[in-house]
Amino acid sequence: MASQSLDLSGLPQKGPQKPRKKLRFVDVAVTATANEFDGIYRNKKYHAADFVNTLDRAMTAGVEKVMLTGMSLSDVSVNLAIAEARPAQCFVTIGVHPYHAVEMVEGGPAYLEKLAESLRAALALTPCPVAAFGELGLDYDRLNHAPKDVQIRAFKAQLNLFVENSWDLPLFLHCRAAFDDFVDVITPYLEKLPRRGLVHSFVGSTAQMQKLVELGFDISVNGFSFQNRESVDMVAVVPPERLQIETDAPWGEIKSGSDVAKRYLANAPPLPPSKKRDKWDAACMVKERNESCTIERVAYVVAGLKGITVDGVAEAAWKNSVNMFRFGLGTEALAS
C-alpha cells in the first residue's frame, strides 16, 4: 500500500547528519503483552514468542532502558517477569488503559483493590521495577472498546486511587481524540501529582501540546506523531526539556516510503534484517512489526523536524526520561 502524501512545506528540507557518538535511548512505551510478540497476527499463530530477541536487538541499538506498558491487571505478572529477568533494562507501568475501562468499571471496588495490591507488591520488590502508574487516560478514537462515560469513570477512579495512596510515581498517560475531557478530568488532581507524568504517543495540535506542557506534563512522540501535518508541526515545537521519545512497539512503525522517512532518514543507519512473519527467524525483525531497536529513527525524524542534531534529541530525551522515571539510577545519573 502506498504511503499517504504529507505536505512538509516550510519545514527543514534536509535530514540530520549522523551522530558524532554512539547514542543511548529510553523507549518509554512498549507493549510486551501484545499478541504480535507472541507470534500471533490477526488471531493466527505464526511463530514462537520472541520478545526477548527484541530486547537483545534493542540493547545493541543503544536502548538501555525499556518501559513495559501496563494495559490491565492481566499484564502485571507478565511484565514483572520480564523486568525480573532483565532488571537493568526493563521497567514496568501498572494501571488500566482506556481500552480496558469496561472490565475495570464492571469489576468495581474489588478490581481497584486488586490493582492497588498488585502495585504495592511490585513497589516492595528489590530492585523496584515500577517506573510509573498507568497507562490511564482517554481514547475516543476507539469507542468500540469502551464508551466515553465508562472511560471517564475508569480514569477518575484510578486518579482517586493514586491520590489516596500517595504513591511516589509519575503518571503514564493516554490522550487520543479526547483532549478537552482529558484536561477537564485531570486538572483538579494536579496539585496532588507532584511528579506529574508523561502524555505518551501524543498526536495533536501545537496548542494542545502547549496546554499539556503548561499543566506540567512531558510529551512523548513516535511514528504515529508523524502522520499528519498538524501533528508534525506540533513535534517541531515541543520544548526540548519536555520531550521524550518512544516506539510504541509493536505498533507505530515509521514506514520507509513515508514522506518524513524519505526526507529525514537519509543518513539513518540500516535496521537489522527482517523477514515476513511466516519466514520467522529469531535473529531477524518481523516485517511490519515495530520494535525498540528502531527508536533512533524516531530521534532522526524529530531532529529533522526541529532542524537540530540527532545527538541533541537523544540526549534531551534520555535526560527527561531518566529524571521522570528514574529507572533505578542514582542521583549522579539523574543530574547528568
Map 183-216 to HEC letters: HHHHHHHHHHCCCCEEEECCCCCHHHHHHHHHCC
Q: Give pLDDT, residue 187.
A: 98
What are the tens digits of pLDDT across the range 201-229? 999 999 999 999 999 999 999 999 999 99
Closest CA to 219 of 193, 250, 246: 246
| Burial tier of 56 (Cβ tally within 10 Å: 0-12, 13-18, 19+) | middle
Q: Residue 82: how many CB atoms within 10 A of its CB? A: 22
What are the tens digits of pLDDT across the range 7-16? 999 999 999 9
pLDDT bin (cut points 50, 70, 90) of residue 330 is low
pTM, two decimals, is 0.96
What are the tens digits of pLDDT across the range 35-82? 999 999 999 999 999 999 999 999 999 999 999 999 999 999 999 999
Q: Find out whether 129 and 84 touch, Cβ atoms under 8 Å.
A: yes
